[in-house]
Every structure is written in structure tokens, then in C-alpha cells.
């Protein structure tokens, strides 16, 4: 994946607005390791990717914004899929040995908070 420096931020090939959207999508797929099950899903994801990138670019062109949006690993997800992803009952995070660790949360908020507090305390094991 080729990149170039523009100011202080890195510009990835898939962010180049001079490329056709299908090519940007292909470069983005390669950069995030995205593979689709078939051409129908790929076409649907390209449509979502295109709509999202157009929104991002339109938003970023507006005057007076205090922040900017960017393309990331979620750019091919629909808003409904994003909501589902954000509110799922478990998360995957890197474990201490670098392997993925599944963190499950219950319906008991107090129990979950206790678990999170215990996880955030420094380890006393040496």
C-alpha cells in the first residue's frame, strides 16, 4: 500500500479522490484485509463504501468544522450494521499475549462495572 505525506498526515491510496471509487474500494479492501463472500456482497459493500466516502468528503469540505471525518475499517458498513456492532453484548480486544480475547458483558451493569474496574487495576504479579 503506497502512501505519501501531505502536510503532517499520511494519505493512503484509497483516500485519493482522483481515483475511481471502485479502485479506491479495492485499495481500501487490501489495506484492511477485507474479503467478501461473493461478487454480490462486494457490489453491495462498494455501494455503501461509495455513499460513506461521499458523505465524509462532503462533511470535510464544509467550512467551520471543528473536526474531520476519515475512512476507516468500518467504511463499508451500513448505519444499521454499525449500530449492531456498537451495541453487541461482547467485544474482542487484544489479550496480554497478543491473541484476541473475548470479553462478554452480562445484563447486570454493576457486575460489568466491577469486572471492568478489576481489569483496569495494575497487576501485582511479577
Neighbours of 13 (CB within 10 A): 17
- The domains of the chain, with CATH numbers, are 3-77 (1.10.287.2250), 89-120 (no CATH)
Q: Per-residue pLDDT tens for 11-60?
A: 577 788 889 999 999 999 999 999 999 999 999 999 999 999 999 999 99
HEC profile of 24-45: HHHHHHHHHCCCCCCHHHHHHH
Q: Per-residue pLDDT tens for 78-88?
A: 888 887 766 65
Question: Is the entire prediction scored with pTM above 0.75?
Answer: no
Amino acid at each position: 500500500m503506497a502512501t505519501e505525506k501531505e502536510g503532517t498526515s499520511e494519505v493512503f491510496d484509497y483516500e485519493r479522490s482522483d481515483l475511481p471509487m471502485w479502485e479506491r474500494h479495492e485499495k481500501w479492501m487490501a489495506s484492511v484485509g477485507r474479503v467478501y463472500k461473493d461478487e454480490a456482497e462486494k457490489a453491495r459493500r462498494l455501494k455503501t463504501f461509495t455513499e460513506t466516502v461521499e458523505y465524509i468528503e462532503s462533511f470535510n469540505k464544509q467550512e467551520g468544522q471543528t473536526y474531520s471525518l476519515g475512512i476507516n475499517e468500518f467504511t463499508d458498513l451500513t448505519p444499521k450494521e454499525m449500530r449492531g456492532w456498537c451495541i453487541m453484548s461482547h467485544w474482542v480486544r487484544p489479550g496480554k499475549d497478543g491473541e484476541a480475547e473475548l470479553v462478554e458483558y452480562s445484563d447486570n451493569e454493576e457486575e460489568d462495572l466491577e469486572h471492568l474496574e478489576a481489569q483496569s487495576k495494575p497487576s501485582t504479579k511479577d
